[in-house]
C-alpha cells in the first residue's frame, strides 16, 4: 500500500521547525508522524509538501490515499480512513483529515470535488510547536504499544534497577547500573542505543536507535531522544528529533530540538516565568508574540541551530534554522534564522560559512552533505532574509 501525507496550514504555524521538512516528518512520541501511519497501514509513504522540500521529500506514485501530515494516527481514526471510498474525504470540524482520489488535490479542490464524511471523534493534530512536547507523553505510550505488541524485549542487564513492567529494549540496546522507572509510563530503548552508568530515567521515555544517554543523566517523563543523538544532564518533557547533541550538564525542559543541533556545556533554558504567567512564543505568520496558554514552555530550536557554553535561554524562546548563539546574558525570545551572536547583538550567518560547518557536522556521522540539503537551506536562507534586520 502507498500513502502520501500532505501539508495543510499547520506547515506555516509550525515554522521554523517546518522550514526544513514536511509536517509529517515531525517526531512526536517515538516515531515521526509519517512513520506512525506507515506502521498502522503497513504502507510505503511519500509527501505532498512545499515545492522546495520535494527534492528530499518526494511524493509516491500509485497511491489513492492522502492523509493530513499534522494528524497523529490512532486505531479509531485508522478505521475511519480505511472506510473512505474513492471520491470521499474525511472531515473534522474545518480540517481535512484524509481523502481518496486518483491524484493529489489541493485542499480547495478536495472541498469542491469530493464528498465529505464527518468524523466527530477527537484527533491529535499538531498545529503549533509547543504541541509537540505537550502531546509527547501520550504519543510515546501509543507508539510503545504499536512497536512492542506481541514482542519480547531483549535481555536487560541485572546491574540496573527496573521498576514496573513496561520496559522494552530492542536488539543491541544496552544499559548498566541505572534506574529505569516505568511506573509512570513506558520506557523504550531502540536498536543499538545505550544508557550509560548512573542514569535516572522515569517514563514515559524513548531513546531511539544508535543514541546514548551519558553518565548520571536525569531524564523525566515525556522525553524522546531521536536517533543518532547524545543526551545528558537534566531533561524534562522534551523532544530531540535526531542527529543532535545535548551531551552535558544543564537543564532542558518543555522543549523541542530539531536535527543537527548542538547544545553547549551548561546551557540552560527556563520553562516557567517568574510570575507564573502563560508563556508566549514568536509566531512567524503574524510576526508577533502568540499566547500558548501554557504555564510551562521552554525552548523551540530549529534544525542546525547551536549554542555555546553557558548559554541561558529565557522562557518561550524560538531559535531559527542554523542560528548560532553564544556569549553571556539572556538572548532575545526570537533568534532569527541564520543569525550569529547573542545578548549583545547578532549578525547574519553567511550561507557559505554555514555550509562549511555543516559539512563537518555531517561528516562526523558519516553522512554526505549533498546538493538536496544545500538547496533546501539556500531556499530557507532566502525566505527568512526579512527576519535578519541587524
Residue 145 phi/psi, 5° resolution? -65, -40
Q: How far apart are CA 93 and CA 69, in angstroms?
A: 17
- Residue 387 pLDDT > 90: no
Instruction: Report the pLDDT value the prediction gives residue 308, as an integer from 0 to 100.
Output: 96
pLDDT score for 116: 97
| pLDDT tens digits along 19-39 | 999 999 999 999 999 999 999
Question: What are 13-16's contacts with CB under 8 Å, separation 24+?
Answer: 13/127, 13/128, 13/283, 13/284, 13/285, 14/70, 14/126, 14/127, 14/128, 14/129, 15/284, 15/285, 16/284, 16/300, 16/302, 16/318, 16/319, 16/320, 16/321, 16/337, 16/384
Helix H or strand E encompassing 175: strand 174-175
Pick the closest to residue 212 from 176, 250, 181, 256 (CA basis). Answer: 176
Would you tell me how many other CB atoms lie within 10 Å of the CB of residue 276?
8
Average pLDDT over residues 350-367: 95
Average pLDDT over residues 288-309: 97
The rounded mean pLDDT for the chain is 96
Res 374: pLDDT: 97
pLDDT tens profile 33-84: 999 999 999 999 999 999 999 999 999 998 999 999 999 999 999 999 999 9
Q: What is the pTM of this model?
A: 0.96
3-state secondary structure of 82: helix
- pLDDT confidence of residue 328: 86
Kind and range of the H or E element at 131?
A: helix 130-148
Alpha carbon dihedral 240, 74, 15, 288, in 10-degree steps, equals -110
* Average pLDDT score over residue span 209-219: 98
Note the pLDDT tens digit of each residue in 302-316.
999 999 999 999 999
pLDDT at 323: 97
Sign of CA dihedral 349, 127, 147, 188: positive
Label residue 354 by pLDDT band (50, 70, 90).
Answer: very high
**Strand pairing partners for 271?**
none
* pLDDT tens digits, 238-284: 999 999 999 999 999 999 999 999 999 999 999 999 999 999 999 99
Helix (H, G, I), strand (E, B) or coil at 83: coil
The predicted structure's pLDDT at residue 389:
83
Q: Which helix (H) or strand (E) holds 352?
A: helix 351-364
**Arithmetic mean of pLDDT, 142-151:** 97
Q: Quick: pLDDT tens for 102-126.
A: 999 999 999 999 999 999 999 999 9
The mean per-residue pLDDT over the stretch 162-167 comes to 97
With 80 as the cut, is the pLDDT of residue 390 above it?
A: no
Amino acid at each position: 500500500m502507498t500513502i502520501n501525507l500532505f501539508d495543510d496550514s499547520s506547515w506555516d504555524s509550525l515554522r521554523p521547525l517546518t522550514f526544513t521538512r514536511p509536517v509529517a516528518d515531525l517526531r512526536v512520541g517515538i516515531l515521526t508522524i509519517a512513520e506512525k501511519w506507515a506502521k498502522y497501514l503497513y504502507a510505503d509513504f511519500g509527501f505532498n509538501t512545499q515545492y522546495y522540500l520535494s527534492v528530499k521529500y518526494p511524493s509516491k506514485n500509485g497511491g489513492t490515499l492522502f492523509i493530513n501530515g499534522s494528524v497523529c494516527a490512532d486505531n479509531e481514526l485508522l478505521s475511519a480512513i480505511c472506510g473512505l471510498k474513492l471520491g470521499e474525504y474525511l472531515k473534522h470540524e474545518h480540517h481535512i483529515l484524509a481523502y481518496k482520489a486518483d491524484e493529489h488535490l489541493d485542499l480547495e479542490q478536495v472541498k469542491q470535488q469530493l464528498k465529505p464524511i464527518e468524523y466527530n471523534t477527537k484527533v491529535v493534530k499538531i498545529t503549533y510547536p509547543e504541541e509537540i512536547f505537550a502531546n509527547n507523553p501520550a504519543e510515546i505510550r501509543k507508539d510503545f504499544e504499536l512497536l512492542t505488541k506481541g514482542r519480547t524485549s531483549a535481555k536487560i542487564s541485572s546491574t540496573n534497577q527496573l521498576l514496573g513492567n513496561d520496559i522494552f529494549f530492542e536488539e543491541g540496546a544496552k544499559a548498566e547500573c541505572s534506574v529505569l522507572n516505568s511506573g509512570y509510563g513506558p520506557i523504550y530503548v531502540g536498536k543499538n542505543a545505550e544508557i550509560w552508568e548512573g542514569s535516572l530515567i522515569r517514563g514515559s521515555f524513548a531513546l531511539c536507535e544508535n543514541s546514548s544517554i551519558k553518565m548520571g543523566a536525569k531524564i523525566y517523563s515525556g522525553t524522546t531522544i531521536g536517533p543518532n543523538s547524545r543526551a545528558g544532564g537534566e531533561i524534562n518533557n522534551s523532544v530531540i528529533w535526531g542527529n543532535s547533541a545535548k551531551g552535558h550538564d544543564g537543564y532542558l525542559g518543555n522543549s523541542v530540538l530539531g536535527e543537527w543541533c548542538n547544545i553547549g556545556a551548561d546551557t540552560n533554558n527556563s520553562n516557567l516565568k517568574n510570575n507564573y504567567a502563560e508563556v508566549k512564543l514568536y509566531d512567524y505568520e503574524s510576526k508577533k508574540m502568540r499566547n500558548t496558554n501554557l504555564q510551562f514552555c521552554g525552548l523551540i530550536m530549529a534544525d542546525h541551530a547551536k549554542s555555546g557554553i553557558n548559554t541561558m535561554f529565557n522562557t518561550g524562546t524560538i531559535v531559527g534554522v542554523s542560528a548560532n548563539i553564544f556569549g553571556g546574558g539572556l538572548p532575545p525570545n526570537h533568534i532569527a534564522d541564520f543569525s550569529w551572536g547573542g545578548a549583545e547583538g547578532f549578525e547574519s550567518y553567511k550561507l557559505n560559512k554555514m555550509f562549511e560547518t555543516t559539512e563537518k557536522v555531517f561528516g562526523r556521522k558519516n553522512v554526505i552533505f549533498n546538493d538536496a540539503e544545500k538547496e533546501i537551506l539556500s531556499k530557507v536562507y532566502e525566505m527568512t532574509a526579512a527576519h535578519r534586520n541587524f
